[in-house]
């Protein structure tokens, strides 16, 4: 399996987990950013996902999501989740938010 296939499999795994109960009711959108979004990932790259939430998520559910999306196979890329409240990140002027607007993939 090449690096693109590995990363795609990890992304699909994470999206399947996040689109199921009990998580889906808290999530409005999920964006991929970073090296995978730019198609510049290396074998050791993680997958960066921004989770846009419509309402405040309990901290224990955030921890549960982070654990749940980690692939069970040790040779798969790690999934790194970042959480933001609905559309708040779009109005920020910091470099992180600007990069998300420029390179984020829904």
- pTM comes to 0.86
Cβ contact 18:69 at 8 Å: yes
pLDDT at 27: 94
Sequence-separated (6 or more) residues with CB below 8 Å from residue 47? 7, 10, 11, 14, 32, 34, 36, 41, 77, 78, 79, 80
Return the residue matching tokens 């901290």.
59
- The pLDDT tens digits of the residues spanning 30-88 come to 999 999 999 999 999 999 999 999 878 899 999 999 999 998 888 899 999 999 887 67
The structural domains of the chain, ordered by start, are 3-103 (3.30.460.10)
């Amino acid at each position: 399996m090449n690096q693109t296939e590995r990363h795609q499999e990890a992304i699909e795994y994470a999206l399947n987990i996040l689109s199921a109960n009990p998580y889906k009711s808290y999530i409005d959108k999920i964006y991929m950013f970073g090296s995978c979004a730019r198609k510049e990932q290396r074998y050791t790259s993680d997958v960066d996902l921004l989770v846009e939430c419509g309402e405040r998520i309990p901290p224990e559910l955030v921890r549960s999501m982070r654990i749940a999306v980690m692939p069970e196979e040790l040779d798969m890329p790690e999934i790194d989740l970042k959480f933001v409240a609905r559309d708040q990140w779009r109005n920020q002027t910091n470099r992180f938010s600007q990069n998300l607007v420029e390179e984020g993939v829904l």
